[in-house]
Amino acid sequence: MIKDLGKITYDAAENLQLEERERVKNGQSSGTIFFLEHQPAVITLGKNAIESNILIPEKYLATKGYDVRKVSRGGDVTVHEPGQLVVYFVLPLKPKAVREFVDGIMNAVISALKSLGVEAAFDDKKPGLWVEDRKICSVGFDLTGRVSMHGIALNVCNSLEGFKLIVPCGLSGVKMTTVSKELGRPVSVEEFSNELKHRL
């Protein structure tokens, strides 16, 4: 099942994921995919994050409108801001099928991007999806307990300002991009969401 949450705080979305994970574990649900944008903007640190990859003191981030959260997904530090599509996958996992699960999601995103005219690829050496040397999508899951949480964050029409405050995913010098920048026209989160939903 797919649920649209619109603009929602990080904490509220995390609580919905945790509640749904319990329902899946208890056999009360077959799982849910949540489509949303985070507002206010938030910087999240995954389990492998290096705190120095946030480039300004945390106490100043609030004055710039950013919350900071330590989260259970893998990976380093990233930003979620309005105009970025976040998709959380709270789904049961088959034993030994983690790679198949993640690859299926990434291929769906690549297909949705291609349908709009953006050629993106997955790089095993660098997390996420890339358009040449520009990163367009961040990926991070919590796959413990045979039920997934977290997921993807795809830059659609966000300002990218938050990425100047961090070392994105711990990759120094990385260039970030959006669907709108790549196409040279405004693309809404809704437009991209519609392309992705029927591919999942």
Residue whose C-alpha is closest to residue 160's, from 144, 136, 141, 183: 136
Among the listed residues 109, 149, 169, 189, the single catalytic one is: 169
Residue whose C-alpha is closest to residue 192's, from 110, 107, 104: 110
75 Rama class: left (phi>0) / alpha (psi -120 to 50) / beta: left
Contact 105, 152 (CB under 8 A): yes
How far apart, in Å, are the Cα atoms of 155 and each of 67, 80, 117? 18, 9, 15
Start-to-end C-alpha separation, the chain: 10
The β-bridge partners of 43 are: 68, 79
Known catalytic residue: 157?
Answer: no
Active site residues: 169
